[in-house]
Structure 1
Amino acid sequence: MPEAPVRTDVAIVGAGPVGLFAVFECGMLKMHCHVIDTLEVPGGQCAALYPEKPIYDIPGYPRVGAGELIEQLLEQAAPFEPVYHMDQRVEKLERVGEWWRLTTTRDTVVEAKAIIMAAGVGAFGPNRPPLENIQAYEGKSVFYYVTKPEDFRDRSVVIAGGGDSALDWSILLAEIARKVYVVHRRPKFRGAPDSVAKLQALAGAGQVELVIPYQLHRLEGRDGELEAVVVRDFDGGEKALEADRLLPFFGLSMDLGPIRDWGLDLDRQTLTVDPFTCETNLPGIHAIGDIASYRNKLKLILTGFSEAATAAHAIYPRVHPGEELHWEYSTTKGVPGRA
């Protein structure tokens, strides 16, 4: 039985970094937020998949851990007293008069004057490599993300993939692992050029071994404990890499779930928005971050932060009709509860 509705100014679907910053931007415009997310704690992929992964493109932070970034965003949002509804998914969206009503899998009902979709890639999970009996090794010696790099100290690690995650963790784990192999099907990597250059330098120094062009073929071990990863080239030649850990980075499987049925304009796994307001085709529903799509968009966290500000300003007249917005910079306006 659904609970009695709770009303708020803005409902934010997604508690990743962009959703958390939207709380701050709305708060600065005197708009209160309820935040809904499927994960048990705020932070999105930054908290669930790689809390200790370094991020290098946040302004003012030459290097910041993903988990640390989430902590800072939560602290930044805290003065505006957002309400978090965690470990639940929005199942139903409907229009009730001037309000949008959201009902979750836990029967939480939130009614809001506007909605900000900050759901990232939607529900996500790793793309498993097609290796026989891989499930027996998962959680013991095969991992799809790194939460504690120290768990890999003095280990022999095979990293498979050619994107940013594979490059980032190869570079970081080269400092603490006993051995790092990087398996990729071709010499060209898809990651940032600077990361590719760092990896090539590590390989030249003998700190990383590039196993190219090869693909994962078979796992060898017992009782979930890995002993070797067998790789195969395109001519059928095989090579056994002695290793006790495997990190396959082949991206995430994405599922928008019920969002697909809400009447929003979709562009594959994203929502089409007006870049000047971040509003979707449904008035009062905005989308920001990875779930938002428009021409020439850059999928960066800092782009999502900018979109959070854009959406909040576009929403203000809906929440405060007839009130003129006298915008002040935070340096002059300050933040509630802070000197």
Structure 2
Amino acid sequence: MPQHLETDVAIVGAGPTGLFAVFELGMLKLSSVLIDALAEVGGQCTALYPEKPIYDIPAHPAIEAGALITRLEEQIAPFATPRLLGRQVNGLSGQAGDFMLTTDQDDTIKAKAVVVAAGAGAFGPNRPPLDDLPAYEATGAVQYYVRRREDFRNKRVVIAGGGDSAVDWALALKDIARVSVVHRRPKFRAAPESAAQLDEAARRGEIEMVIPYQLHALQGSDGVLSAVVVATLDGETRALPADSLLPFFGLSMDLGPIAAWGMQQAMHHVTIDPATCQTSIPGIFAIGDVAAYPGKLKLILQGFSEAAVAAHAIFPIVHPGEALHFEYSTSKGVPG
């Protein structure tokens, strides 16, 4: 059923940065509404890698992505923020202090400011150009993310790619599965420490490194995989026995209707003023991976910082002429 809501701030995107924006706004006694195209909060942390450990969240030496989302939900629970999930924002009109957003489910949201926390928009995996790929995707023999590590116990797993996801999952699965890593060159794009751990695991025989090769074909029948065929640039091929293939070639991003709002963009990202996180349209702010500015780091913790910056910049839009007497949370506590 369509909902018709009025709030101080509409947050488009319910990933970790969007969730933390609820908290930062709530601490300034600003109300908000969360809107996301996915059916649950958490963005990529929930949809793509809930069991993947994250190591650079302050005070957590390691925390799984799904657990991080759970903690963020606990943190914003006092604010009872409405959630419009499984909906895509398809319309925006108005100006700072008086925006109207509409969704593909005919919801309407009246807001004084808008925060775009949409990651890099709608996302999907970059698929390898292999024959009969859909049949193996349908059975789960080919997957583009790991939701449950245990699903791969005692399996022969081929991981393709040279970025953080490929290296991280090779390290995470090596103790429960037979793992082969396929990459077209010896150098990996992953974090240096992770790449060093991969090299050490390969040296100990815990992971098979298949270099320099790239994916060539799939062998099996009726969606049941038996081998992954890889090839060198010279055409030399070999078959790797496999039950599962995990191709990690990144995600294709699409800002969708947000791209038509008229905000200044750079390389499919939204340009902001880092001092306020405001876009080229007054009253519309962008935080997290979708935001672009000189020196930007695509880290969850930087998105958290941007959420705080944006919240303080939004306060005078919601309460024009009213001074903000900011207090630290240690003395202020969480508003009831």
Same fold by TM-score greater than 0.5: yes
Cross-structure match for 1:173: 173
**For residues 65 and 228 of structure 1, do their structure 2 counterparts lie closer, same or farther at Cα, with a shift above 3 Å needed?**
same
Task: Describe the SS at the equivalent of 1:137.
Answer: helix
Tell me, in whole angstroms, the C-alpha distance in 2 between the residues paired with 1:293 and 1:157.
36
Cross-structure match for 2:301: 302
Alignment of 1:140-289 (within 5 A): 140=139, 141-177=141-177, 179-289=178-288
**Which of 91-100 and 153-162 deviates more?**
91-100
**1:119-168 deviation per Cα after TM superposition (whole angstroms, max 9, x unaligned):** 00101000100000111000421100000000000000000000000000
Tell me, in whole angstroms, the C-alpha distance in 2 between the residues paired with 1:97 and 1:299.
27
Shift of 1:320: 1.4
Query: Is 1:26 the equivalent of 2:25?
Result: yes
Tell me, in whole angstroms, the C-alpha distance in 1 between the residues paired with 2:97 and 2:67.
38
Tell me, in whole angstroms, the C-alpha distance in 1 between the residues paired with 2:135 and 2:273.
46
Shift of 1:268: 1.7
Q: Report the AA paired with residue 28 of structure 2.
A: L
Tell me, in whole angstroms, the C-alpha distance in 1 between the residues paired with 2:112 and 2:310.
13
Task: Describe the SS at the equivalent of 2:326.
Answer: coil
**For residues 97 and 334 of structure 1, do their structure 2 counterparts lie closer, same or farther at Cα, with a shift above 3 Å needed?**
closer
8 Å CA contact 2:277–2:286 kept in 1: the answer is: yes
Q: Report the AA paired with residue 146 of structure 1.
A: V
Q: Which runs of 5+ in 2 are unaligned?
A: none
Tell me, in whole angstroms, the C-alpha distance in 1 between the residues paired with 2:37 and 2:97.
26
Alignment of 1:12-91 (within 5 A): 12-91=11-90
Q: Report the AA paired with residue 319 of structure 1.
A: V
Task: Describe the SS at the equivalent of 2:137.
Answer: coil
Task: Describe the SS at the equivalent of 2:188.
Answer: coil
Tell me, in whole angstroms, the C-alpha distance in 1 between the residues paired with 2:89 and 2:295.
29
Cross-structure match for 2:291: 292
Cross-structure match for 1:314: 313
Tell me, in whole angstroms, the C-alpha distance in 2 between the residues paired with 1:139 and 1:26.
42
**1:6-33 deviation per Cα after TM superposition (whole angstroms, max 9, x unaligned):** 2100000000000000000000000000
Q: Report the AA paired with residue 79 of structure 1.
A: P
Tell me, in whole angstroms, the C-alpha distance in 1 between the residues paired with 2:231 and 2:156.
19
The percent identity for this pair of structures is: 61
8 Å CA contact 2:96–2:283 kept in 1: the answer is: no
**1:229-281 deviation per Cα after TM superposition (whole angstroms, max 9, x unaligned):** 00000111001000110000000011111111111101121100000000001
Tell me, in whole angstroms, the C-alpha distance in 1 between the residues paired with 2:217 and 2:307.
45
**Which of 141-150 and 314-323 deviates more?**
314-323
Q: Report the AA paired with residue 50 of structure 2.
A: P
8 Å CA contact 2:128–2:247 kept in 1: the answer is: yes
Q: Report the AA paired with residue 279 of structure 2.
A: T
Count matched residues: 335
Q: Which runs of 5+ in 1 are unaligned?
A: none
Query: Is 1:135 the equivalent of 2:134?
Result: yes
Task: Describe the SS at the equivalent of 1:138.
Answer: helix
Task: Describe the SS at the equivalent of 1:239.
Answer: strand
Task: Describe the SS at the equivalent of 1:316.
Answer: helix
Moved beyond 4 Å, runs of 4+: none
TM-score (norm 1): 0.97
Shift of 1:211: 0.2
Shift of 1:96: 6.2
**1:292-316 deviation per Cα after TM superposition (whole angstroms, max 9, x unaligned):** 0001111100000000000000000
Shift of 1:336: 2.9
